[in-house]
Amino acid sequence: MSQRPARSVPKTGAAPSDYTTSAAILDTAGATPMMAQYIEIKAANTDCLLFYRMGDFYELFFEDAEIASRALGIVLTKRGKHGGADIPMCGVPVERADDYLSRLIALGHRVAVCAQTEDPAEAKKRGPKSVVRREVVRLVTPGTITEDRLLDPARANVLLALGRRKAGESASVYGLAALDISTGRFSLSEVPAAELASAIARHEPREIVLSEAIHADPALARLWREIPAPVTPLPQAELEPASAERRLKEQFGVSTLEGFGQFGRAELAAAGAALLYIERTQIGARPTLSPPTRESAGATLAIDASTRANLELTRTLSGERRGSLLDAIDRTVSASGARLLAEHLAGPLTDLAAIRHRHAAVEFLAENGPARATIRENLARAPDLARALSRLGLGRGGPRDLAALRDGLDAAQALAAHCAALDGLPEDLAALATRLATVDAGLVGELRAALADDLPLKRQDGGFVRAGYQAEIDESRLLGQDSRKVIAALQARYAEETGCRTLRIKHNNMLGYYIEVPQGVGEACLKGVMRETFIHRQTMVDAMRFTSVELGQLESRISGASDRALALEAAVFDALAARILGQAPAIAEVAEALAAFDVAASHAELAVERDWRRPVVEEGFAFVVEGGRHPVVEAALRQSGAPFIANDCDLSGEARGRIRLITGPNMGGKSTFLRQNALIAVLAQIGAFVPAARARLGLVDRLFSRVGAADDLARGQSTFMVEMVETAAILNQATRRSLVILDEIGRGTATFDGLSIAWACLEHLHEQNGCRALFATHFHELTALGARLSHLDNATLRVTEHKGQVVFLHEVVAGVAERSYGLQVARLAGLPAGVIARAGAILKHLEKAERDRPGKPRIDDLPLFANLSPPPMPEPTPEAPDDSLRRALDAIDPDALTPREALEALYRLKAEAVALH
């Protein structure tokens, strides 16, 4: 059979997410009926691990079993033979399937869930060897999960689809459809090919789908290798433009898309691919999606993947949330608020009016502590409305999702009432408060009346409808749970009516329920007033047995009471879910408004807690930060009680930005200073206050960072190559409105090569890009450019020495570093004393050779890329007799020695001195 095209391997170190099965295994010849059914289903789902339901377990066979056993760490066994070989098998309990699914999904695998769709009793009617019907009811993939136990509550679960259109003979424009079926969010955008990687990084997708043609494009091959998410190609024939538009119309029940806005062909192609993939993975279930919104070009601050990683915006370099900027600033109290904050941080605004509206909202909440506290209390008791609504729309909801909507809408109503009583509410918050009250108030009352206090996870478990809500359910429960009491009550009534205290209602498998009375009483019942009530069943030696219409009806109701109670509760659930879904758009608006309130209140809480200030964001090329601090480093220092040294930064210019060239020792704080100013710009443009005494910033359109270095062995690139690739991207893309931070450009190669490259990059940033930039370097020769480049200033990190030890003051001041203090830093790092001493001697020799070299060129007169030769290394000189003794003394650290070690060292020194003299 034909196999699907190969997919990109997840970057997890796990087995590939392609599950190829050999033709021999897919042959059903000689297979048992059950295995033949498995093979048939597996043949239709070769790109997934198949969870095949057998009783209380999901079983996996053949290669699927081998992959799953390795990934999950479970025992691999065998079951029978196929094609003359043992069949590998492993399984997971159905009750714990979500736990195993979450681990497989985290590794980038896809899983087809195959359930029994027939009662085993029905299968037996077809014959003793008939197999219960099974069907794949769902494909579980990283980008299409909806269960709470499989999702990170604070992170969006984005499925990203790509489309493409030609914009010329060699240029292409890419459409992106970002869709989160766990919340219903759906956005479309178009970007040129050069910005595709940056746009993908902004969305942080869990999974990417695209056409086979895009996936096979050689120009994009490296991109697919770099993306830390599985990439799934779809058949080109199924992604025609007409079918894409049709799927959109069907999804939203409209005859035209004009009401949603104007979308380009690439965007429509991406949207069609996303909906096709959802249709396949959800096996016909249609999620509740918000109408697609179009993100205009340039609406967000462009940040490429490298800069996001360097600045650790949402994840640290090791991939953890802890230690990132997001972790440091997150004061949200709801899952939806945490997700929206991460979304804002991934795409800071470039719309000046929108930024100022956000700042006004934060300022109002920061200045009104009691109002902020009440708002946060209401938000804290609001469950995740968006995800609960999505599960109901897909038919996967449970009673707790109904309760989440009840509690969330109740909190929204309380918050709306509180906001109505506030004076001077800013425009943004007033608009949000209005959106909170768009849902029918009666829905909350209905849910409150219908739902019990203690709710099961699944609707099939029953017991979630409150007692007194529906009489039929109460009666069915009474019959099912308290049948003995009901029978006893009927028995007592019959005993009173017949005057027979020994009348009993009994049960056996032959007759079911029956009334038993003594022989004499029975004869009277046949002739007296009870003859119209009692129906004779049996005559015994000393007793007679009867039934009654009432008892027969009661028996029928008792025997089906539990099933009837479950059916009635299911009907209540369906009615409530239908009513909720009827107001899905309004509920989605409430969910979005709650999240936005939470983010604004979070920023305000943080501002008050950390004494952050409202920045002034404006047009132009200003960049003035007074008393700026690094938000993450400051948070870490607060825990230890150490102060953070604040610093100023001014990169302002009238028609362009300025460059600040920073010199100073390692560990002096250059990288922290660079990063903190980039993070202040990001915080300002997401609408937050900033860690500074004052900040006035001109809008930044693109942010670039080249900080730190590492090999990329997978791409065959050295540290220096990675550095040059990232620097090239900056020099080619930065505009006058951009902010650039560069650290140690040129340090990965020979000294004069690196100096030449750094020099040329500085000139290019100054003359061509004209952007605002911070440029840290150890090439002190570059500081002379401050006299030649009108928009370049020199700054340094203050350092002092105390008792022979270097002290880093972490204070940025105007000027030039006098020395690098490299040997002092090496000593702090723990290099052996002998190495430090030898390095000091070599350094003195090199510095003397540099001073004494005739014709030494000055940086002022040095032509670019001059052919300079490094000074010669010093020749080793014979040691004087006392040199070895002196080195031995220098190598001893008295504070690190135990008394015994000190005594032994003294004896060694004495012995060596005697030998020398």
Positive or negative, the Cα torsion across 538, 542, 548, 553?
negative
671 is in an annotated binding site: yes
Distance, in Å, from the CA atom of 727 to the CA atom of 725, rounded to the nearest integer, reads 5
670 known ligand binder: yes
For residue 714, give every residue at least 6 positions away whose Cβ sits within 8 Å of its Cβ, in sequence order, or none: 225
Are 610 and 496 contacting, i.e. CB atoms less than 8 angstroms apart?
no
Cβ neighbours around 586 below 10 Å, total: 16
If DSSP codes are grouped into helix, strand and coil, which group holds residue 167?
coil
Q: What's the distance, CA 687 to chain centroid?
A: 21
Nearest to 233 by CA among 9, 7, 48: 7
To the question of whether residue 631 is assigned a binding role by annotation, the answer is: no
- Known binding residue 666? Answer is yes
d(CA 742, CA 764): 13
445 carries a ligand binding annotation: no
Question: Per the structure block, which two tokens stand in for 206?
Answer: 């869990």
Q: For residues 118 and 126, give the distance between their C-alpha atoms in angstroms, rounded to a whole number.
A: 12
Q: What element of type H or E holds 635?
A: helix 631-640
Closest CA to 198 of 305, 299, 313: 305
**Half-sphere exposure of residue 686, counting CA atoms within 13 Å on the CB side?**
26
- Backbone φ and ψ of 906, nearest 5°: -60, -45
- H-assigned helices in 325-395: 325-329, 335-346, 352-367, 369-380, 385-393
Q: Which two tokens stand for residue 279?
A: 């249709």
Query: Is 770 marked within a binding site?
Result: no
Find how far residue 732's CA is from the centre of its chain: 31
- CB-CB contact of 603 with 360 (8 Å): no
- The residue type found at 291 is P
Which secondary structure element, helix H or strand E, spans residue 512, and what is its range? strand 512-518
Annotated binding residue at 243? no
Measure the CA dihedral 896/897/899/901, to 10°. Answer: 170
Which of these, 57, 35, 31, 44, lies nearest to 2 by C-alpha position?
Answer: 44
The structure tokens listed for 674 are 């660079």
Q: Which residues are annotated as a binding site for ATP?
A: 664-671
Q: Which residues are annotated as a binding site?
A: 664-671
